[in-house]
Each structure stands twice: as structure tokens, then as C-alpha cells.
């Protein structure tokens, strides 16, 4: 019998990378939070941080290959001691038209990092922030005690700087992911609910809402196993396999770079150590031409990106 995964693998034979326009750069796994859904299992006890040497090689790759979109993530990317210098250098590269940084919001309220909000605004950095629900109880359950209140406080400060406002170019995006073993609701409808509730209850605004499907890896996988849900969840993802999502997968137009400079198809493959099968897996040695005919590395967790409306780091695919 042909399974959904067999179909995915067959599609994979014909999936070729488009021209790479995005680098998603993980500058370190250290984080101030221990979110229960984190696929990198980031937290305060992690020590991995990208060095300035690796950042320099990324800058050179970006310039030589006319990369237009930079997506900076972690852990909490704000913790990396070179983050400001890295952003300043990225801003000098002519091809780069957008720099996005993924923040957990809470870190921007800590004294040693609070100045970064103004730095991001001054440099027109797009911010994408995790807020997996608009209800306090659900957020704190997934991300930690008092995280919701701190996140709201941070958004209010960002709004004052112009983020999320209609008359500025400072974009603030929020990210929703389910609290349990289920697919996200429809993105546009949920965006309306977020906007209405957060405006009426807290007088805060934002630009976009991205719905992301939880992948059965990292801490979320551990939770599924603990609650004896992992087989049911994997079966759900397979049953909702939608082949129309394959042509829009984020791995077709971006590269993921880990804190050591090694390259992957996406940050989920990075979390699992599934590197692109090339003789030169380091960002300072690889050439885009080396990657053109290499297939995307598919595995069972890829069902999450292909299920239902699809999922990517910028939300649903359909």
C-alpha cells in the first residue's frame, strides 16, 4: 500500500531548489526561556553562540550571492554578543532588502537587553514574536509563568516606537502555534481574532499573524511521548497531507545556518542534525551552484509543513 510518506518521497525526487533568496541564521541556542514546544530545546543552560568569524563568512556569502532576506533566530538571538555589529554589517550589503529578527518579547524587558528595542527600530528591523495565544493562561502554560504579561508589556513599548503602526514601516508579526496535538486554525480568521482581542483588552497592535504547525521533534516530541499522543499526532499529520503545499515549502528558497556555520534545508532539519548532503556543508566554503541539483532532505517530521494549509516560518502556505 502506498502511504502519504511514500507520496512525499516521490514528490521529493522532483523538488528542486529555486533561487535562494533567504538565509535563516541561528546565532545561538541560549535563551532566557524554556518553552515546552521549542524544537531546539533552547534555554538558559545552553552555551552555543555563533562567533564573529562565522558571522563574517555569512556576510561574505550574503554579498557574493545577492541574498535579499535575512532571518535571524535562536534561542534568543538578542543574547549573542555580536548581534548589533552583525546587523550593522548586514545593513551595508546592497542586496539585503529585509532583516527579520525572531524575538520572544520577554527578553526585551530585561535590563541588559532593553536597549535593543530602540536599536531594532532605528535600523528598521522587522520583528517576529512568539505569542502562541491571546489568552494569558494558554501562553503561560506553553512558555512559562508571567510570560504573557511580560510579552504584552514589550509589545506596548514596541508600539510606542512605531512597531505595528499603520503610518510606519516597522513591522511586528506575531506567531501562533497550537498548545496541543492539533493543527492550527485558519490563519486569516485567527488574525482577526488576535487583532480584535489584543486591541480591546490591551490596546496593542501588530501587522501579521503567522500560524505554525508544531513538529514532533524537540520538547514538543517529549511532551507527546509523555502524554502517549505521538502516534496519534503523526497519524493526524499524515492524514492531512496536502500535496499542493509542496511547491511553496520554505526549504525551496532558503538556507538555514546553524551557530557553527553549517547549512541545512530548514531550522527543523538543523534541530535534528540533518545536513544538506554536500561535500562543503560550511557557509564559508559552499557555493549556491553546488546546491542546485541536490534534493531537499525529507523526513517524517516534514509532514507538519505539508499538512492542511501548510506551515512555514512565515505562516501557512495556502
Distances (CA, A) of 306 to 170, 232, 233, 248: 31, 17, 14, 9
What per-residue confidence (pLDDT) applies to 274? 94
Is the pLDDT at 137 greater than 80? The verdict is yes
For 261-267, what is the mean pLDDT? 96
Given its phi and psi angles, is residue 308 left (phi above 0), alpha (psi -120 to 50 degrees) or beta? left
C-alpha cell of residue 236: 493526524
Q: Give dist(CA 31, CA 231) in Å, integer.
A: 30
C-alpha cell of residue 82: 555580536
Q: Using 50, 70 and 90 to split pLDDT, how confident is the model at 89?
A: very high
Q: What percent of the chain has pLDDT over 90?
A: 83
Ordered by where they begin, the domains of the chain are 4-306 (3.20.20.70)
Q: What percent of the chain has pLDDT over 70?
A: 96
What per-residue confidence (pLDDT) applies to 3? 46
pTM: 0.94
Q: Give dist(CA 35, CA 104) in Å, integer.
A: 10
More confident residue, 102 or 144: 102
Q: Using 50, 70 and 90 to split pLDDT, how confident is the model at 9?
A: low
Is the pLDDT at 4 greater than 70? The verdict is no
What per-residue confidence (pLDDT) applies to 13? 54
Is residue 218 within 8 A of residue 38, CB to CB? The reply is yes
What per-residue confidence (pLDDT) applies to 298? 87
- 229 SS3 class: coil
Q: Using 50, 70 and 90 to split pLDDT, how confident is the model at 289?
A: confident
For 220-229, what is the mean pLDDT? 93
Is residue 206 within 8 A of residue 174, CB to CB? The reply is yes
What per-residue confidence (pLDDT) applies to 6? 54
Provide the H-helix boundaries in the chain.
4-14, 52-64, 83-91, 116-122, 136-143, 147-160, 187-202, 218-226, 230-239, 267-272, 288-291, 303-306
Distances (CA, A) of 272 to 120, 169, 215: 30, 36, 11
What per-residue confidence (pLDDT) applies to 1? 34
* Beta bridge mates, 23: 70, 255
Is residue 39 within 8 A of residue 256, CB to CB? The reply is no
| Residue pLDDT, tens place only, 15-49 | 777 789 999 999 999 999 998 888 999 999 999 99
What per-residue confidence (pLDDT) applies to 12? 54
Amino acid at each position: 500500500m502506498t502511504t502519504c510518506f511514500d507520496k512525499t518521497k516521490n514528490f521529493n525526487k522532483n523538488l528542486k531548489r529555486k533561487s535562494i533568496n533567504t538565509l535563516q541564521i541561528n546565532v545561538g541556542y541560549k535563551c532566557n526561556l524554556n518553552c515546552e514546544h521549542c524544537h531546539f530545546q533552547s534555554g538558559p543552560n545552553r552555551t552555543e553562540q555563533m562567533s564573529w568569524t562565522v558571522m563574517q563568512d555569512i556576510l561574505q556569502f550574503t554579498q557574493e550571492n545577492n541574498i535579499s532576506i535575512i532571518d535571524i533566530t535562536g534561542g534568543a538571538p538578542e543574547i549573542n554578543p555580536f548581534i548589533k555589529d552583525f546587523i550593522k554589517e548586514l545593513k551595508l550589503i546592497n542586496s539585503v532588502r529585509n532583516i527579520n529578527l525572531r524575538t520572544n518579547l520577554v527578553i526585551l524587558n530585561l535590563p541588559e537587553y532593553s536597549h535593543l528595542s530602540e536599536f531594532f527600530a532605528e535600523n528598521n528591523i522587522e520583528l517576529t514574536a512568539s505569542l502562541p495565544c491571546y489568552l494569558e493562561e494558554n501562553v503561560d502554560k506553553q512558555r512559562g509563568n508571567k510570560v504573557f504579561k511580560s510579552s504584552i508589556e514589550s509589545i506596548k513599548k514596541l508600539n510606542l516606537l512605531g512597531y505595528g503602526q499603520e503610518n510606519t514601516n516597522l513591522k511586528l508579526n506575531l506567531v501562533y502555534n497550537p498548545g496541543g496535538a492539533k493543527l492550527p486554525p485558519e490563519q486569516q480568521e485567527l488574525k482577526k481574532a488576535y487583532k480584535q482581542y489584543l486591541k480591546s483588552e490591551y490596546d496593542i497592535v501588530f501587522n501579521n499573524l503567522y500560524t505554525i504547525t508544531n513538529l514532533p521533534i524537540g520538547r514538543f516530541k517529549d511532551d507527546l511521548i509523555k502524554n502517549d499522543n505521538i502516534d496519534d499526532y503523526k497519524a493526524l499529520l499524515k492524514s492531512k497531507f496536502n500535496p499542493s503545499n509542496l511547491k511553496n515549502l520554505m526549504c525551496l528558497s532558503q538556507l538555514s545556518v546553524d551557530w557553527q556555520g553549517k547549512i541545512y534545508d530548514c531550522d527543523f532539519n538543523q534541530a535534528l542534525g540533518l545536513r544538506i548532503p554536500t561535500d562543503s556543508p560550511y557557509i564559508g566554503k559552499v557555493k549556491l551552484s553546488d546546491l542546485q541539483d541536490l534534493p531537499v532532505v525529507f523526513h517524517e517530521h516534514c509532514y507538519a509543513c505539508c499538512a492542511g494549509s501548510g506551515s512555514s516560518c512565515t505562516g501557512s502556505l495556502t
